[in-house]
Amino acid sequence: MKTNVSQVIVTTSTGEQKRLGDYQGDVLLIVNVASKCGFTKQYTGLQALQEKYGAKGLQVLGFPCNDFGSQEPGSLQEIQEFCSSTYGAKFQLFEKVHAMGNTTEPYTTLNQTPPIGDVAWNFEKFLISKDSYVLGRFKSGVEPESPELISAIEEALAE
């Protein structure tokens, strides 16, 4: 069964509650991010995806997470400043979440996507269709520029 995220409620960077279903009609790339990780350089590629495909309906949504090696210790404001000044990343960042163990949304729902289980590390990506269904789950090592991810995004945008 496909996982639908339309009813999932997350907390924006301004503390507001937002349903992921509010993005219906857009393709989402949901990523758990961290500022002190070996994969942190992926911020550049994620921003490039937002710039290249944003006008076509892609929304990159970053969820800071300190679950893996305490690699995201800062406040949301510090994280936003770091991402913007170091990587030019301006895609949407949300309140910090837990992606493993005692998870918080959106991961309580996303971790039910095959292969079922907690996110394994920072920068794991979930691609969500225009109608709020999870289309794919990409491990941390799948870079934003990878043909596998680009192909899946372009296919989702074309639907």
User: Which positions are annotated as active-site residues?
Assistant: 37
Q: Which secondary-structure segment (H or E) carries 147? A: helix 147-158
Locate 61 and state its tokens.
């949504």
List, in sequence order, every residue forming a beta bridge with 93; answer none if it has no partner: 62
Task: Report how far residue 85's alpha carbon sits from residue 99's, in angstroms, rounded to the nearest whole number.
Answer: 26
132 Rama sector, left if φ>0, alpha if ψ -120 to 50, beta otherwise: left
Locate 105 and state its tokens.
């949304």
Q: Is the CB of residue 84 less than 8 Å from the CB of residue 44?
A: no
